[in-house]
Structure 1
C-alpha cells in the first residue's frame, strides 16, 4: 500500500526528515508518535507533496509519487486532514462535504452513509462550518476527506483540543472503518491511550528520525512513553 524509503524532507534549506523508512499494508491503521516539533507533520506533508523531498522514495499502490504534484496524489486516492482541520468557515456543513467530492475521480453525489459515521453532521447541514465546536469541526474535516473514498487517509493530530466524548466518537469511526477493511489510515498523534486503542502498528519519531516501531498489541506502553518523553 504505502512504502516510504530513505526519505529526506526540507523546509527551505533546513533538513527536517532524515532517511525515513515506513511501510503500511492495506487496511492497517498506523500511528506516528512523537513530541511537538520532531517532524511528524512534515512527514504527512511529504506524502502529500507539500514540502521538498529531494531524496528517497514514496511508493503508493506500486506507483512512485516522489515527483508527483499534490493534486495527482489526491486523485490517486490519498485523503488528508491537516492539523487545524482546514474547513471553510463561511460555507455550510453540507457545502463543506460537497467539496470533498472534488477529489474523487468519479465525482458523483454525496453518499448518505457518511451520516451513519457522523450522525451529528446530519443535524447541522445548513449550519456554517465556523459555527461548529472544535470537535464538530474535526468530525466535519474527517467526513469531508472520506466522501472522496480515499484508499489512504492521513490524519494529523485528530484528538488535539478535542473533548473526551468526541475523541471516543472519532475512535469509534476509525475502528468502524478498519473493520470494513476498505481504507488504510496513517495518524499522527500524541495521545498514547488513543493510539493503543485504534492502531495496529506504531512508529515513534524523534529529531526527524524513526527511533522505535512495533505492533501495538505487543508493546509495553511505558516503553513508548519513555521514548516520547526524551
Structure 2
C-alpha cells in the first residue's frame, strides 16, 4: 500500500530524515515509535507533502507521489490526522465531518459506519468542535479522516493527552477498522498501545530507522531502552 524508499527530508538546511525505508502493507497496522524530536512527525509530513523531500520515493499503491501536491495525495486516498487533531473548533461536529467528505467525492453523505464507530459524535453532532473534550476531539479528527473513505489512515500520536478510557476506545476502533480492511500507519510513543494494536513496528532515532519487526516478536526491554536513551 505505502512504500517509502531512501527518503531524505529537510527543514531549511538541516536534514531531518536520512535514507528512510519503510513499508505499510495493505490491510495491516504499522506503528512508528521513537522519542520526541527524532523525526517521526516529519516523516508523516513528508508523506503528505508538507516538508521538502528532495530525494527518495513515496509510493501509494502503484503511484509515485513524492512530487505531488498535498491536495493530490489526499485525493489519492491518504487520510491524515495530525498531532494536535486540527479540528475546526467553531464548526459543529456535523460540519467537521462534512468537510471530510471533500477529500473524496464518492459520497455527499456521512457513512452511518462513522457513528457506529463513534456513537458519542452522533449525540453531539450539533455541538461545536471546540466544546468537545480532548478525547472526543481526537475521535472527531479520526472520524473526519474516515469520512473521505481513505485507502490508508495515518495517525500522529493518537493517544497524546487522552484519558485511558478513550485510549481503549480508540484502540478498539483501530482494530475494528483493520477487520474492515483498512490500512493504518501510526506514529506513537505509548508502547503498550503499540503492542496491543500493531502488526509491525519501526523504531526511529535521529531521523533513521534503527529497528523493525513483527510486534509479536518485539524485544520489549530492548525497545524500552531505545526509547529512554
Number of residue-to-residue matches in the alignment: 229
- SS state at 2:17 partner: strand
User: Could you say which residue in structure 1 is the equivalent of 2:194?
Assistant: 195
Structure 2 residue aligned with 1:104: 104
User: Aligned partners of 2:159, 2:30: CA distance in 1, in Å?
Assistant: 15
Deviation, structure 1 residue 107: 3.8
How does 1:1-230 map onto structure 2 within 5 Å? Answer: 1-181=1-181, 183-230=182-229
Matches of 2:24 and 2:136, distance apart in 1: 29
RMSD: 0.7
Q: Provide the C-alpha distance between the structure 2 equivalents of 1:105 and 1:199, rounded to a whole number of angstroms.
A: 30
Comparing 213-222 with 158-167, greater Cα deviation is found at: 213-222
Q: Partner of 2:54: helix, strand, or coil?
A: strand
Q: Deviations over 1:32-81 (max 9, x none)?
A: 00000000000000000000000000011111011000000000000100
- Looking at structure 1, the residues matched to 89 and 47 of structure 2 have their Cα atoms a distance apart, in angstroms, of 26
Deviation at 1:97, TM superposition (A): 0.4
Structure 2: gaps spanning 5 or more residues: none
- Note the C-alpha offset of 1:90: 0.2
Q: Secondary structure at the match of 1:103?
A: coil
CA–CA separation in structure 2 for the residues paired with 1:113 and 1:152: 17
Output the TM-score relative to the length of structure 2. Answer: 0.99
- Any idea what SS the aligned residue of 1:155 has? strand
Q: Name the SS for the 1:113 alignment partner.
A: helix
Question: Would you identify which runs of 4 or more consecutive aligned residues in structure 1 move more than 4 Å?
Answer: none
SS at 2:112's partner residue? coil
Offset from partner CA, 1:114-133 (integer Å, 9 cap, x none): 01000111110010000000
Q: Secondary structure at the match of 1:58?
A: strand
Q: What TM-score, normalized by structure 1, do the two folds share?
A: 0.98
